[in-house]
Amino acid sequence: MPTKPARNQSASPTRNLASTAPVPVPASARKAFQPEHAHQNLDRGARAAMARLSGGVSAHAFIEAWTDWTFHLSNSPGRQLELAERAQQNALKLMALSARADPDAPPPFVPKPYDHRFDHPGWNTQPFLLWQQGFLAVQDWWDHATDHLRGLQPEDADRVRFMARQALDTVSPANFPALNPEIIKATLASGGRNLTDGAAHFMQDMVKTLTQSHDPAPKGFRVGQDLACTPGTVVFRNDLFELIQYAPQTGQVQAEPILIVPAWIMKYYILDLSPHNSMVNYLVGQGFTVFMISWCNPTAAQADLSLEDYRTTGVMAALDAVGRIVPDRKVHAVGYCLGGTMLAIAAATMARDGDDRLASITLMAAQVDFAEAGELLLFVDESQVAFLEDMMWDQGYLDRPQMARTFSTIRSEDLIWSRAVRRYFLGQDDLPTDMGVWSADTTRMPARMHSQYLRGLFLENRLTAGRFAVEGQVIALKDIAVPMFVVATETDHIAPWRSVYKTQLFTDCDLTFVLTSGGHNSGIVNPPGGDARSRYHRGERRAGGLYEGPDRWLEVAETRTGSWWPEWAGWLATQSSGSSGPPDTGAPDQGLAPLAAAPGDYVLQT
């Protein structure tokens, strides 16, 4: 593995890594994951092979959940009676539906808000309505059957519910051409052309899955031309990231620059999509000097990268570079998703060590406590983590397709089945969008870092339990004294908003909390003049103020329509010291000469 660069290493050109392909894991990179006894390699290799077949899901964890649920249900005659009554009630509702006199009366069962499989108006006519309602009635029964039960481990109940839902989704009437009115209508209208086109789409997708290949970005969605196209310059580069400084668009800028720390589970340009919805472009247009970290897409040769490397060689090295380009100024630090978690760790460490270079902290859809991390917790226990660790030990990283499958199954109704029907039975092409192109631009996670993240944060929740050590000393989020702006999104299934809200529980500083409409990505990428339905709730907690639970906070929070971006930009301005002329690009006299035009090389790595 290449020698890790020093924290204050001057930026020097490196080889273009845009076309670097994964390579076998070298012995030096695998050393950190080596078992104590060589014979254990056989065990790990066997588990790694099984993990690849199962997508990293441990069968043991789910068998254990079914066993726990079955045992406790068998010893609960009251719950059994309740479920029998529920089945009877649902059956009577279906019978009444088939004999109802008013065809406009609302049906007894409704899909979940994110389930769009039954949106077509044909589902409101018989016999399709009865098939749809029959499926939803069974789904309703299973939701109650897998509800929490006295003595049953809550996570086992949730896992059984998740597995039951996945199994039910495979037999939804929406998946079968003869039972889906939308498919029948399209087939009659096109003479079956939709089915032949869908078969072609299926073959294309199967070949891409088997070969792990990617289609080139469609016309109008090229990175550096149409996306990630805000003018800027790469002013620093090491083996882990490139630092982009964006060109000013106003004559005067806020004196304090902004440093954005995106998650390395995604490419940074989710925050610099098309010009009309680019957060970076918006901030620069509002008179801010913006710096962006563009993480490398690690290969197996970087399997030994750790969380601490991402803090020191990543966040802190970027902060050092920004300080040399804009000297004697504090920095507004912004973290998104996992980048926000890392920023919180870095900020708490800086507070402990008396480092006062931050002017403010913004966390977007970022968790610091993982006790209520939603359905992602279904995939995190000792057995699951061991499975993933052995798979990463074998290949050196966790590939994005393996992560994407996890995120998709959480909302399989929409992200898997609805798309499959559109593409394979209706013969519709996926319409390209900037966010869709970004989502398909996959990245990898280094083995060691991801293992530490899963164990230290997700599984053991050390950061808020007072057990997360940096450089041998435990850090505490309550040491952070600079103002914070925390953003959560209402329908986030990756970082649920109540989990993000817990930042208020573990900090004592001035904190503005915003809950915005949308999901993990759409709620953050929410420019002014975009979705007319956009709204957000806002509230403040002064330093040392009493904690208020999320539901109570939502009751009293101020509600505003539109994008939350202007609210945030105004807040940043109030945390700044005034305006000045734009800084120079880079700092050649400090070893930070401009290296390349944005978006740089690392964002192009595949």
Where helices occur in 396-461 by DSSP H, the ranges are: 400-410, 412, 419-420, 434-440, 447-452
Task: Report how far residue 173's alpha carbon sits from residue 133's, in angstroms, rounded to the nearest whole number.
Answer: 10
| Amino acid at the residue 533 | R
Helix (H, G, I), strand (E, B) or coil at 535: strand
Amino acid at 57: V
Angle made by CA atoms 400, 406, 410, in degrees to the nearest 5: 140
Candidates 565, 605, 602, 82; CA nearest to 284 is 565
In angstroms, the Cα distances linking 524 to 254, 490, 521 are 23, 11, 5
Largest Cα–Cα distance in the chain? Answer: 83
Q: Are strands 290-295 and 241-246 parallel, antiparallel or unpaired?
A: antiparallel
8 Å CB contact between 336 and 263: yes
Are 419 and 325 contacting, i.e. CB atoms less than 8 angstroms apart?
Answer: no
CA distance linking residue 416 with residue 530, whole number of Å: 26
Q: Which residues, listed in sequence order, are joined to residue 291 by a DSSP beta bridge?
A: 245, 259
Q: Quote the CA–CA distance of 418 and 114 in Å, as a whole number.
A: 11
Element (H, E) at 89: helix 77-98
H-helix or E-strand spanning residue 166 = helix 154-170
Distance from the first to the final alpha carbon of the chain: 19
Residue 187 in tokens = 């087939």
Enzyme catalytic residues:
337
In this structure, what token pair is assigned to residue 567? 């609210």
> CA-CA distance, 308 to 145, in Å (whole number)?
44
Yes or no: say if 12 and 321 are a contact pair by the CB < 8 Å rule.
Answer: no
Dig out the tokens for 432 from the structure.
């390209």
CB 383 within 8 A of CB 58: yes
